[in-house]
Chain A
Amino acid sequence: QSVLTQPPSASGTPGQRVTISCSGSSSNIGSNTVNWYQQLPGTAPKLLIYSNNQRPSGVPDRFSGSKSGTSASLAISGLQSEDEADYYCAAWDDSLNGHWVFGGGTKLTVL
């Protein structure tokens, strides 16, 4: 069971807006920034959003991130077929000796 909780699946039709949630606690999301990674089928993960809401260069502005309290969200607007992938949230967790934690991942299907 992952420290950060994500829905296992999400779906939408082309052009729609979808959101993926990520729930944590005071020791991780509540006190540290959240990063999101996209993993296309058969490939390595790729940084999608960092520091809650920042996009690396090359990531379309259709992708946006937000954080409130101990939860974070990834929103994808104008959904495209190439967005079909697994999405993971991650954050530093201050508990015990400290460690990085990931969500269990959300498989996004474009219908």
Chain B
Amino acid sequence: EVQLVESGGGLVQPGRSLRLSCAASGFTFDDYAMHWVRQAPGKGLEWVSGISWNSGSIGYADSVKGRFTISRDNAKNSLYLQMNSLRAEDTALYYCAKGHTPLYDSSGEYFDYWGQGTLVTVSS
């Protein structure tokens, strides 16, 4: 059974940093791309970042480019999101999602499993 468990969320002041983690199990982690998708309170889904199976290809939404860094440790079956210079508009539930292909940016890619999310609140 595929399981994705996010952690690391919390309340943080604007301008500070936070690191999210996603522990994966139930599948061969290094065969697949991984993604972060967020959902602001009462709003829709927004793709944040994706990373290919071997970290060779990475992408970000314009809204977080230059502030967030995605990474993965295949030996630990874990995905990370380092979030710097946080803003109020980054407040959201952050989901870790498994890709269906090795490449995050292939047209045949889709998000076939999702974690339950970790809440990030940016406020003074």
Interface residues of A (CB under 8 A from B): 2, 31-33, 35, 37, 39, 43-47, 50-51, 56, 86, 88, 90, 92, 96-105
Closest to A96 in B: B62
B residues less than 8 Å from A100 (CB atoms): 35, 47, 50
User: A37-B111, A45-B95 in contact; A102/B44 too (CB < 8 A)?
Assistant: yes
* B61 CB contact (under 8 Å) in A33, A37, A39, A99: A99
Name the contact of B107 in the complex, choosing from A2, A92, A105 (C-beta under 8 A): A92
Bound complex: CA A98 to CA B61 (Å): 9
Min CB gap B89→A, angstroms: 14
Per CB-CB distance, the 5 closest pairs between chain A and chain B, nearest first, are A100-B47, A105-B44, A32-B107, A35-B110, A44-B114
> In the complex the two chains form, what is the Cα distance from A31 to B106 in whole Å?
12
Q: In angstroms, how far is the closest chain A Cβ from the Cβ of B67?
A: 15
Would A44 and B116 be within 8 Å (CB), given that A33-B108, A92-B107, A99-B62 are in contact?
yes
Bound complex: CA of A43 vs CA of B114, how far in Å? 10
Residue contact B47 to A35, C-beta cutoff 8 Å: no
